[in-house]
Structure 1
Amino acid sequence: MVGYLLYPLRSDSHATGSPKLVPPVIAAYVYPGWHPCPERDKAFPPGWSEWDLVLSAQPHFPGHRQPNLPLDGPYDDSDPATAARQVRLARSFGLDLFVYGFFWSRGKRVLQRALDQGFLGALEPFPFALMWANRMPRRVLPVKRTRGSEIHPSRLVYTDPEDFLDLVRYVEERYFRLSSYFKVQGRPLFSIFDSTFFVRQMGRKTAARAIGLARDFLRSRGYPDFFLLALNPAPALIPELRSLGFDGASHYVLLPEWKGEYLQEYRSLARLRQSQWPEIQRDCGLPYFPSVSPGWDATPRAAIHGSRKVRRYPWWPVVVGRDPGLFRNHLLEALRFSSGKTEIGLTFIASWNEWSEGHYLEPDHTFGSAWLEAVRDARSCL
């Protein structure tokens, strides 16, 4: 089967013996939460979406830049006209690929209209792939302080080999076979958001069997295989990714130190994460594809409890000092790492539009289109 974009799994060398750089592929994660959905209509007045959080966001400390608002105002991401504008904007600034969050729990889907109705209904074909978000979105926002687990048990997505195979069958029938689905030598790119939970809740042997069954199914449908990425792996899991059957590793947001200080400087965090990419790649023995973010501030999702700082998501931490120039430099280092040290030149950006967590590329009232210009400028420096 022929994919929309094809890249070699192994790069050759020049006659001089130096490694041949592979073409950069810049992928942006797309959060599909900008339209009303039945699950949230049960908790809110009909028509509620996360734009209500973004528009009503308040500063939590002096100098805190909130709210952050889209330059062209809120939109409905299930509208094909919205998706068409997003594709044209992404293409014009040098992005190659959208990776849509795909919420699935044993056949139940949530927030699917952004992909199925919006993106696929637009008259602007553009390469895309899926990230299985094996953690269901919060039904009630903003988040209120509780003594329970940070992740409510109802949001955890448990699976088993048969269920995982059902998922792969589903996405193969509806998405993998599309010519616009991103493939590597015919292998559909597919990633698992919480790879650690995926493995731990099944056990290592069962998780490896689940992945093997999915590969067998795809081969029976004429694909060479799929290209499976483990996102956000715990340090203890990283050395086992190859034996489990993954083809590579990455992250969604790898920027703040989750248990660090409340306010964290972007410049220092970018340097820290750049130093960790080679270590992760060495430890997993697989290609590591960096994910860079223009910022992090999830406080729009948090209820305000006076002046008290709640030491957990979404109140803590907040990245300060974000700047398009710093983001451009961070992205450039990621592009160089991917092009020079991995088998295919994928670099991820988290994200295109997760406004309620403070990481987005879309134009805003403060920086205009500077985040997108940073992407274009970084690419031009290669």
Structure 2
Amino acid sequence: MSTNIRAIALYLPQYHPVPENDEWWGKGFTEWRNVTNARPLFPGHYQPHLPADLGFYDLRLPEVREAQADMARQHGIHGFCYYHYWFNGRRILERPFNEVLSSGKPDFPFCLCWANENWTRTWDGGETNILLGQNYSHEDDLAHINSLMPAFRDPRYIRVNGRPLFLVYRTGLLPDPKRTAEIWREAAIRAGVGDLYLVRVDRFARDIDPATIGFDATVEFAPDADAMVARRFHDGLPGFLSRHGIISRAYTQNRVVRYTDLAKSMLSRPMPEFKHFRCVTPMWDNSARRKKHAWIVVDSTPDLYQNWLETVAAQTRGRYQGDERLVFINAWNEWAEGNHIEPDLKWGRAYLEATLNALEAGCSREPGQ
């Protein structure tokens, strides 16, 4: 099924054991351990999120990757944006994507997002308890981008007006992002893959014009931290919990937001003058990773998600043309963040069906409607 919007789902290539996680978190660790250990923290809290159609899969299996791509394609997803981890020449969680690249399967479009935070024990990219840290240099910039040329040359790689699409999660951590962008572009042109289409994720700084750092566009990250803070429940009895007549201690130790409030807050922001791509999330709940200070979005439903995505698709169709009609979905399979459109035992394929419905409706709806 195709639409005139290219919906790209962020994809976590984690679900397989690696030596680093064996060392840091225990032998055989994958995100599934966090997922299955999650428990409701207050009445009505949806946990654990358990997979349905694909089960507790291992991404080393090509059959799993094929099934994911088939499912995504059938529900209007144009491609996956794989998180990519590079630490001064050291890769981690690279096996699933390497096998996608080397095997040519699945035959499904993809791009990469460099998740350039430190890896820490706190799971938040902070600067304490560092397990694997970033050390930036322009020599490393060149080595990094050269390592990606085989991916950029792949015919499945997503391009914008002929240019490979490459995202960076936190450009604010780069000492000189403009020079990094120059190095990357020059290397890509020399290698014959053409100029790059560089996009910064604006989770941590929304007002930076990408042109000032040598980038082409920004993409918002949903859920946005500022929107979450603004819409967080504070004092009094939240409606979500008042239905159950209780505020639990676990509730007060975490940060709870209504899905409708989050969507409304993000949709209400004016679009900037520069190129800016919209992003939606089906749901969010990282309490599987954090028992305290988690962000928990409550009351999400497939219909509410469909309305948000449909509005964003219509805005995108009205604002952009051709290859720049891009919408991002966070995420395909972030199970430990309660953030996935892959089928679960509660909703089945309802979020996938909502995705297709939203994209088809958004492509025929006027942007202001």
TM-score using structure 2 length: 0.84
CA offsets, 1:146-193, max 9 Å, x none?
A: xx9576444542322221121111001x20011111112221000001
Partner SS for 1:339: helix
CA offsets, 1:289-310, max 9 Å, x none?
A: 11100011000012x4xxxxx4
Query: Is 1:367 matched up with 2:347?
Result: yes
- Give ranges in structure 1 of 5+ residues lacking alignment: 6-21, 305-309
- Give ranges in structure 2 of 5+ residues lacking alignment: 234-254, 364-369
2:287 is aligned, of 281, 295, 299, to 299
Q: In 2 relative to 1, CA 362–345 (structure 1 residues): closer, same or farther, beyond 3 Å?
A: same
Partner SS for 2:182: helix
Q: In 2 relative to 1, CA 164–233 (structure 1 residues): closer, same or farther, beyond 3 Å?
A: farther
1:170 is aligned, of 141, 147, 160, to 147
1:116 is aligned, of 84, 87, 98, to 98
Per the TM alignment, residue 45 of structure 1 is displaced from its structure 2 partner at its CA by: 3.9
Preserved CA contact (<8 Å) 2:116 2:169:
yes
Query: Is 1:81 matched up with 2:40?
Result: no
Q: In 2 relative to 1, CA 150–295 (structure 1 residues): closer, same or farther, beyond 3 Å?
A: farther
Q: In 2 relative to 1, CA 151–266 (structure 1 residues): closer, same or farther, beyond 3 Å?
A: farther
CA offsets, 1:211-262, max 9 Å, x none?
A: 1121111111223300000002544x73342121110001333345343332
Partner of 1:18: none
Query: Is 1:23 matched up with 2:1?
Result: no
Report the residue type matching 2:160 in the other structure.
Answer: V
Query: Is 1:246 matched up with 2:246?
Result: no
Partner SS for 2:13: coil
CA offsets, 1:19-63, max 9 Å, x none?
A: xxx931000000111110110111344322110111111111111
Partner SS for 1:131: strand
1:380 is aligned, of 353, 360, 365, to 360
* Distance in 2, Cα, partners of 1:258 & 1:134: 23
1:353 is aligned, of 333, 338, 343, to 333
Alignment of 1:1-382 (within 5 A): 23-72=4-53, 73-117=55-99, 121=103, 123-138=105-120, 152-172=129-149, 174-198=150-174, 202=175, 206-232=176-202, 234-235=204-205, 238-255=207-224, 257-259=227-229, 260-261=232-233, 262-276=255-269, 278-279=270-271, 281-282=272-273, 285=274, 287-302=275-290, 304=291, 310=292, 312=293, 315=294, 317-343=295-321, 344-381=324-361, 382=363
Tell me which moved more, 101-110 or 244-253.
244-253
Percent of aligned pairs with the same residue? 31
Aligned residues: 334
Partner of 2:249: none
TM-score using structure 1 length: 0.82
Per the TM alignment, residue 87 of structure 1 is displaced from its structure 2 partner at its CA by: 0.5
Partner SS for 1:87: helix
Preserved CA contact (<8 Å) 1:80 1:119:
no
Preserved CA contact (<8 Å) 1:29 1:99:
yes
Q: In 2 relative to 1, CA 120–346 (structure 1 residues): closer, same or farther, beyond 3 Å?
A: farther
Per the TM alignment, residue 351 of structure 1 is displaced from its structure 2 partner at its CA by: 0.3
* Distance in 2, Cα, partners of 1:63 & 1:137: 32
Preserved CA contact (<8 Å) 2:160 2:197:
yes
Preserved CA contact (<8 Å) 1:134 1:193:
yes
CA offsets, 1:301-327, max 9 Å, x none?
A: 12x4xxxxx4x4xx2x21001000000
* Distance in 2, Cα, partners of 1:61 & 1:347: 34
* Distance in 1, Cα, partners of 2:130 & 2:315: 37
Preserved CA contact (<8 Å) 2:100 2:106:
no
Partner SS for 2:38: coil
Tell me which moved more, 255-264 or 364-373.
255-264
Q: In 2 relative to 1, CA 152–341 (structure 1 residues): closer, same or farther, beyond 3 Å?
A: farther
Preserved CA contact (<8 Å) 2:170 2:204:
no
